[in-house]
Structure 1
Amino acid sequence: MSGAVLPFRSTARPHGRTFGGALAGAAALLSLMVAMSLALLTPTPAQSQTTRITKVTSPGGIEAWLVHDTTLPLIALEFAFMGGAAQDPADVPGVASLAASLLDEGAGDMPAEAFHRELADKAIELHFDAGRDEVRGSVRTLSENRDTAFDLLRLAVTHPRFDTEAVERIRTAQLAALRRRSTEPNAIASLQWFAKAFPNHPYGRPVDGTLESVPKINTDHLAAFAAKNLARSNLKVAVVGDITPEELGKQLDRIFGALPANATLTPVANVKPQGLGTVDVVPLEVSQSVVMIGTDGLDRQDKDFIPAYVLNHILGGSAFSSRLFKEVREARGLAYSVYSYQVALEHVGLWFAGTATKNERTAESLKIIAEEFAKIIDEGPSQTELDEAKAYLTGSYALRFDTSSKVAGQLLQIQIDKLGIDYIDRRNALIEAVTLDDLKRVAGRLASAKSTLTVVVGKPTGLSGG
């Protein structure tokens, strides 16, 4: 719920199956779903937002957050197993990503083709993905097909097959994606930045692996990852739709009850980015250079995270009113797009800025961005900028809740960020409470942000590095 936009990372393929049928027909009722979701943010006086979110604990002790709504006969379930690609073997990155891609490629006594056919016949959407800190999954289904959907999910997480045919097919797709990404400036910049910032740490390894590591992944790696990481102790669940708390409690045990009680996770150390104060140039024959600038930020649990979030919005978080937009694009025409954003990973907080500009204007763009970073830290924003930021950030919050899937995703992220079940109630008030003194204080804490690790991909003139 940080509002963060994570650095570029595409996946080898969409991790999951999406089918039309009855769900496509239900999409015609989108306006009803929007009304249902926005009701979370505009409760009647007699019913607060928090009372719409019920904490459900199954008979077996599995916890989920539920928004029970019967506006449409649909159920959206989002879940995460904490751990993710940070649990990959140091010498074989990409295991978590490949394993997540394969969870819907057959399970139990159903090979991939039969598993996919059952999903399609019942118009069930099933999706898995791996990030640095978690493996996520989602199910969307018509209420009438929930038993089948939940049973297929149960098989996928408790009895994945990792059949040779499926492994080789998905491996080939992942390698093809890596080859494409090897010539994409944004992808190169992100990979290079994290590798330079976090040497000898799991965050420095590519989530999807490398052209050298992915061919080395075998079924033993995949099975070991699933056995160690898919467990009840590191599981978080959010559900929105046509299911009661009592029914959900039973289904939680049915889906996840057979998982191991405890995950066997390798400890991951908290970390700070290295290489600050340096510029790394990656030569690439393109007409525009892609710039990725990163530095130290705040953890999501830090009491100053919300003031830092507001400060970032003023610097580069808004497409049209931010300082970076005005100075880099409007005043000088250096780039079409320029932005800044926060990233709150489990073991580090980061602050990024980025742009793409003509090779011959890259050095000038970097100079202006650095000056704006320093200026907002040294001088802080104006009251007008603060008022405008508050109005935008509070007014746009409802847009994160315009479908049942988005609502479930937000509830899951709130759990991951450990913000509390009442966060939706409190969030806008936290932003409204931010003062100029708060921004000055957090700017002082972020003074080190004036020293950055910069990665430039292209053929910039007037820059050197490596």
Structure 2
Amino acid sequence: MRSEKNRVASQAVARRASGTSPLMAWTVALLIALTALLTAFQARAVEVQRVVSPGGIEAWLVEDHTNPIIALELAFRGGGALDPEDKAGLAYMVSSTIDEGAGPLDSQAFQGELDNLSISLKFDAGLDSFSGSLETLTENRDRAFELLRLALTEPRFDAEPVERIRSQIVASLSRQSEDPDYIASRVLRRLMYGEHPYARPANGTEASIARITADDLRSFVQQRFGRDRLFVGVVGDITPDELAKALDDTFGMLPEKAAPFSIPAVEAANGGETVVIAKPIPQSVVALGQDGIRRDDPDYYAAYVVNYILGGGGFASRLVEEVREKRGLAYSVYSYLAPFDHGSMIYAGTATQNARVGESLDLIRQEWRRMAEDGPTAEELDDAKRYLTGSFPLRFSSSANIAGMLVGMQMEDLGIDYLEKRNDYVEAVTLDDAKRVAKRLYRPDALTVVVVGAPDGVTPTRDAPGDGT
């Protein structure tokens, strides 16, 4: 799931220090390279065009005829959070089987044609959306779009591929059920969201996947794939007129409207509870969370910058400095903002030797509190903004990445000129903004903690909740 697979992994700008260390030299070189990339990106003046087909289907396009390649990303609003409670993982299973045969082509013929024409067609499902991606050479454009149309409008869901994919999903879930990181994340969301759909695993459980039938898969497609819920981004060797025709040819047969749905807004629990799930492993995995900030909140960019300073900035973050660099307690420690359509949370995590889990948790809470009480320094804020604006061009590393951004811009209602304005939003964050939002956002006493392992120095306050599926 794309929204849940995202992990903060960027190597960030180190805080200023006297002298010149290898890390500082690396940082300076990185900043120079990023500045050059940004200059090149701005000079290229990427133009996002709004294309509306004769049938009224809209897409955002970045036209680029440099290479004979087209990348298309699509998303339908509404994902795994809409799955029936006893059939969690339905959207995920649809995403795994929808390209296993469509129209007159069975699974082998469909996949064989994709391979023979070097067409990449993939689907995925998150809690709030169902997404797809298509990449093709220009010469195979028409057939690629036709295969996409067949997958969306005439999926077969034949017995053999459905059972084969079901077995693969169940095997993967069985492996995940023993993965401490997966366990910690799943239990944390259960604690934070209770009976809300966001508490359910988007890829289901072994029991819920077993309950899903081919008719369930067909019903999902019929009910969820409506043009009113569709967002499309395209990058590459195609003109607006060509794209307009392709939009009608590819998506025109979808229903005008998807089945109506509603998901209640939810505020993540902030009870400050601690759960320990015993496992005989030498290193415990720790997951922490509290209520977060919505993507459409006016303070979002200030929160984004502050989180970078606290735990999102790799080697530049306070958590890495205190937990890893100064004390060697963990290889990785991080935090990130996780905004959903109907709620949000701040997630943090680490893994450390059982004997030092209590010490690591104390340090994380200490830094959480220090950020809330004092906020960042002016130096930290300047460094963070410099990196976040300078590294922005790295997101444009492929046509598919850009197409995905175009879809996200539409779904989040960021405006067609967002790529031009985004860095201005980051630059506009003042020290007063950062301190105010840090005080508003971070609540160390509200942190919910899940530890998987055999930790020392950790006292649980309750048992783990059931999985609810």
Instruction: Report if TM-score (shorter chain) is over 0.5.
Output: yes
Q: Which amino acid aligns with 1:183?
A: E
Q: Give the match for residue 354 of structure 1.
A: 349
Contact 1:64 1:236 survives alignment (8 Å): yes
Counterpart among 398, 401, 408 of residue 403 in structure 2: 408
Contact 2:292–2:345 under 8 Å retained in 1: yes
Distance 1:308 1:406 in 2: 24
Contact conserved, 2:310 with 2:367, CA < 8 A, in 1? Answer: yes
SS in 2 for 1:434: coil
What is the match of residue 326 of structure 1?
321
Compute the displacement of 1:5 (Å). Answer: 6.6
Q: CA deviation at 1:126?
A: 0.4
Which residue in the other structure is 1:189 paired with?
184
**Does the residue aligned with 2:86 lie in a helix, a strand or coil?**
coil
Question: What pairs up with 1:301-320 in 2 under 5 angstroms?
Answer: 301-320=296-315
Structure 2 unaligned regions, length at least 5: 9-36, 464-469
1:194-273 correspondence to structure 2 within 5 Å: 194-273=189-268
Q: What is the CA deviation profile of residues 341-373 of structure 1, one whole-angstrom value per residue up to 9, with x for unaligned ones?
A: 111111112111110000111111011001101
Given candidates 74, 84, 87, the residue that maps to 2:82 is 87
Q: Out of 358, 361, 374, which is 1:366 matched to?
A: 361
Give ranges in structure 1 of 5+ residues lacking alignment: 9-36
State the one-letter code of the partner of 1:186.
D
Post-superposition shift, 1:410? 1.5
1:119 corresponds to which of 111, 114, 123: 114
Write the distance in 1 (CA, Å) between the matches of 2:260 and 2:281.
Answer: 42
1:460 to 442, 455, 468: 455
C-alpha displacement of 1:41: 2.8
Matched, 1:418 2:413: yes
| Counterpart selection for 1:341 from 310, 330, 336 | 336
Deviation at 1:275, TM superposition (A): 5.3
Q: How far apart are 1:276 and its partner, in Å?
A: 2.6
Paired residue for 1:171, among 166, 175, 178? Answer: 166
What is the distance in 2 between the residues matched to 1:179 and 1:40?
47
User: SS of the counterpart of 1:170?
Assistant: helix
1:67-78 matched pairs, under 5 angstroms: 67-78=62-73
* CA displacement 1:108-152 (0-9 Å, x = unmatched): 111101101111111100000011011110000000000110000
Aligned pair partner of 1:142 in 137, 146, 150: 137
Distance 1:226 1:56, change over 3 A: same
CA distance in 1 between counterparts of 2:264 and 2:440 reads 22
**How far apart, in 1, do the equivalents of 2:141 and 2:295 lie?**
35
Distance 1:149 1:298 in 2: 39
* Counterpart residue identity of residue 436, structure 1: L
Q: Distance in 2 between matches of 1:276 and 1:293?
A: 12
Taking structure 1 as the reference length, the TM-score comes to 0.90
| In 1: Cα distance, 2:227 partner to 2:415 partner | 20
Residue 246 and residue 450 in structure 1: after superposition, are their counterparts in 2 closer, same or farther (change >3 A)? farther
Identity %: 49
SS in 1 for 2:339: strand
Structure 1 letter corresponding to 2:252: G
Q: How far has the Cα of 1:462 moved from its partner?
A: 2.2
The answer to whether the 8 A contact 2:50-2:58 is kept is yes
1:360, 1:273 → 2: CA distance?
A: 30
**Residue identity opposite 2:187 in structure 1:** Q
Aligned residue number for residue 387 of structure 1: 382
The aligned length equals: 432
Residue type of the partner of 2:41?
L
CA RMSD of aligned residues (A): 1.8
The alpha-carbon deviation at position 324 of structure 1 amounts to 0.4
User: What residue in structure 2 maps to residue 27 of structure 1?
Assistant: none
Residue equivalent to 1:41:
41
Is 1:65 the counterpart of 2:60 in the alignment? yes
**How far apart are residue 391 of structure 1 and its match?**
0.7
1:280 maps to what in 2? Answer: 275
**TM-score, reference length from structure 2:** 0.89
- Find the residue that maps to 1:444 and give its secondary structure: helix
Structure 2 residue aligned with 1:445: 440
Cα separation, 2, equivalents of 1:40 and 1:235: 32
2-structure distance, mates of 1:273, 1:41: 39
Contact (CA 8 Å) 1:376, 1:443: kept in 2 or not?
Answer: yes
Q: C-alpha separation between the residues in 1 aligned to 2:102 and 2:260?
A: 23
Query: Alpha-carbon deviations, 1:23-42, whole Å to 9, x = none?
Result: xxxxxxxxxxxxxx978832
Moved over 6 A (4+): 37-40
Give the aligned residue type for 1:224. S
Which deviates further from its counterpart, 67-76 or 426-435? 426-435
The superposition leaves residues 243-291 of structure 1 with CA deviations (integer Å, 9 ceiling, x where unpaired) of 0001101101111110011111431011011253101111112111111
- What is the alpha-carbon distance in structure 1 between the residues aligned to residue 397 and residue 200 of structure 2? 35
What's the secondary structure of 2:269's corresponding residue?
coil
- Check conservation: 1:297, 1:449, Cα contact below 8 A: no
Show the counterpart of 2:98. 103
2:15 alignment counterpart: none
Tell me how far apart the structure 1 counterparts of residues 185 and 178 of structure 2 sit (CA, whole Å). Answer: 12
CA distance in 2, matches of 1:152, 1:92: 28
- Assess if the C-alpha contact under 8 Å between 2:270 and 2:446 holds in 1: no
On the 8 A contact 1:282/1:458 being kept in 2, the answer is yes
Distance of 1:39 and 1:256 partners within structure 2? 37
Give the superposition deviation at 1:432.
0.9
**1:279 to 1:7, Cα distance in 2 relative to 1, 3 A:** farther
Is the Cα contact below 8 Å between 2:372 and 2:442 reproduced in 1?
A: yes
C-alpha separation in 1, matches of 2:273 and 2:369: 16
Does the aligned pair in 1 maintain the 2:38–2:390 contact within 8 Å?
A: no
Look up the match of 2:371. Answer: 376
**Displacement, 1:464?**
3.0
Partner SS, residue 381 of structure 2 = helix
Mapped to 1, the partners of 2:67 and 2:289 lie a distance apart of: 43
